[in-house]
Amino acid sequence: MEGLNEIVILLAVAVFGAALARKIGFLSPIVLMILGLALSFLPGFPTFHLEPEFVLIGVLPPLLYVAALQTSVPAFRFNLRPILLLGIGLVVFTALAVGFVVHLILPQAPFAICVALGAVVAPPDAVSATAIARRIGLPRRVVTILEGESLINDATALVLLRVATAAATGGAVGFGAVGEQILISAGGGIAIGIAGAVIFGFLHKRIKDPLLDNALSLLTPWAVVLPSEAIHASGVVAVVVTGLALGHRMPTLMAAGSRLQMDAFWRLVRFLLEGLVFLLVGLQLRTVIDDISTPWGTVIGATFAVIGTLILTRYIWVLPGGWIPRMSARVRGREGSFTWQHPVIIGWAGMRGVVTLAAALALPSVGTGEGEALYPRDVFIFIAFAVILFTLLVFGLTLPTFSRKLGLPPEDPTKDFLAEAAVQQAAARAAKERLEASSEGAPQSVVTRLRQQVVDRTNTAWERLGGDGRETPSAAYGRLRQEMIDAEREVFRTARDEGRIPEEVLNRAYRDLDLEESLLTRREED
């Protein structure tokens, strides 16, 4: 019962923090972490110990899964070169650089365990960077690259962490052993991910009940992670592969009702989990500080050295990586327009998150034969926490201003509206042809009404290109129809209260009106 009370408290605080963030106009990850920091020093507030398995097995899989579901596979493939450079190359480069710097400062710590710390702090967070990038309206290609990086860098870091930890604890570290571990981790994860996509795609195709579809979707990330971990493969890779494959095929796998319900369902799950993990990161501060036994001068010096190394290595890697390949005409032709601001803003979007802290907590307690600690594990955990705090607060808070100062042009919505209108025109022609072929025997009034609906949808798409400030016919329709829906709801509610209709009739009427209102709201947001 006590554990349940703690979960309820955490969820309540997370919801409050997210509401506060929206009220003051701040990003919720930053507000929740600051709130957690403050609560960690509040007398009497429960102490929460974050277990690595809780994050790596319990929280990270669904967050990565929903991110992969929503990632465009064509866009991911189009930007594969920069994504791989960041998600694999930069992680390895950063881990080695951090390991070298930490080994210089703490020579008693073996180089292998210092590289393990580098692997811990190397991957930017899978949640915070893209959430901030979307919020401030960065160009779509930048967001895609950051999303792609965050989907695969955790897998790279965790594989590297296993290799470095094995080396520090006396495991086999030859090229053959390392290659075998990488093959099992990455290859096994890909194989299980593909199998998961095939199996769950088959099931989604045959399930017509939205509730069962969503229950299956909820189970999917753990269903591929647990077998992966059982054979020591990368569960992160498996989840990402399954999510990308299913997300790309989702329009043909699930019925409309299932897709609508799944969108709302995963938005709620993501909202709660993201709030929970960033709150937990902040709540770890008291525990982390209490465990420090190393002199604080050494701790602070090592911390700033690591943070400086992370900033330098990201720019040393990103700036040449953004420009040197584009000396090739073939690369320029394939990847299209590119400005100097793109790698600069990508370099600045290096926020770390809860995976870094969970991986740090998973570092082994290694001792010598005399019982002394082989390295200061408490310092390594504090460094990981300080990296999260610094990057999220400094980079996260300054990224909107930094983007404006760079003059990075936002995505031109006119291109999207024009493309949508052109495709909608083709869709309207296909709809009319299908209507004419299937309308035999149908009442003429119904056929006429359906024809007009097609015309209205096409006109709505073209109206978005106007932008002269006047109320468009579609906007007027939405405003007036909303007033009508409100009136209809009031009549049904009054009839229920007076006993003229049962509750079931009210619920059915409200459901239909709610669906129509949600369409009106979605049009306004678009």
Residues 147 and 56 placed together within one structural domain of the fold: yes
Nearest of 285, 240, 239 to residue 392 by alpha carbon: 285
Mean pLDDT of the 55-61 span = 85
Residues 6 or more apart from 268 whose CB is under 8 A from it? none
Averaged pLDDT of the chain: 83
What is the domain-level CATH number for residue 133? Answer: 1.20.1530.20
Tell me if 506 is assigned to some domain.
yes
Residues 430 and 509 in one domain: no
Greater pLDDT, 371 or 442: 442
The letter for the amino acid at 239 is: V
Closest CA to 189 of 226, 244, 228: 228
- The pLDDT value given to residue 315: 93
Give 322's DSSP letter: H
Within this chain, do residues 466 and 478 fall inside the same structural domain, yes or no? no
Percent of the chain scoring above 90 in pLDDT: 20
> pLDDT tens-digit profile of 113-137?
999 999 999 998 756 666 666 666 6
Q: Are residues 226 and 113 in the same domain?
A: yes
Q: What is the DSSP letter of 124?
A: P
Residue 79 and residue 21 share a domain = yes
Residues 342 and 447 in one domain: no
Per-residue pLDDT reduced to its tens digit, 145-196 = 888 888 888 888 988 888 888 877 765 556 666 677 778 888 899 999 999 9
Query: Could you tell me the pLDDT band of residue 490, with boundaries at 50, 70 and 90?
Result: very high
Reply yes or no on whether the pLDDT at 258 is more than 60.
Answer: yes
The reply to whether 488 and 523 lie within a common domain is yes
The verdict on 341 and 216 lying in the same domain is: yes
- Any domain includes 40: yes
Same domain, 186 and 211: yes
| Most confident residue range from 201-215, 319-333, 432-446 | 201-215
Residues in contact with 35: Cβ distance below 8 Å, sequence separation at least 6, in sequence order: 13, 17, 20, 279, 282
| Pairwise CA distance, residues 288 & 267, whole Å | 32
Determine the Cα–Cα distance for residues 212 and 216; give it in Å rounded to an integer: 6
The per-residue pLDDT for range 351-383, each reduced to its tens digit, is 888 788 888 888 887 655 454 567 788 889 899
Distance CA 126, CA 118 (A): 17
Residue-level pLDDT at 11: 86
Q: How many CB atoms lie within 10 A of CB 289?
A: 15
CA distances from 329 to 82, 196, 341, 373, 503 (A): 16, 39, 20, 54, 67
Host domain of residue 487: 474-526
Give me the pLDDT at residue 224, please: 95
Question: What's the mean pLDDT in 272-291?
Answer: 82
Burial of 128 (0-12, 13-18, 19+ CB in 10 A): buried
Q: Are residues 22 and 131 in the same domain?
A: yes
For residue 401, tell me if it sits in a domain: yes
The verdict on 295 and 168 lying in the same domain is yes
pLDDT at 293: 80
Point out the domain boundary residue: 438, 455, 470.
470
Mean pLDDT of 296-315: 93
Chain segment 188-247, per-residue pLDDT in tens:
999 999 999 999 999 999 988 888 999 999 999 999 999 998 988 888 899 999 999 999
Question: Are residues 430 and 406 part of one domain?
Answer: no
Q: Which of 52-61, 327-336, 416-425 has the lowest mean pLDDT?
A: 327-336
Written as one string, the DSSP assignment of 426-464 is HHHHHHHHHHHHH-TTS-HHHHHHHHHHHHHHHHHHHHT
Residue 416 lies in a domain: no
Task: Answer yes or no: is 190 within a domain.
Answer: yes
Q: Considering its fold, how many domains does the chain have in total?
A: 3
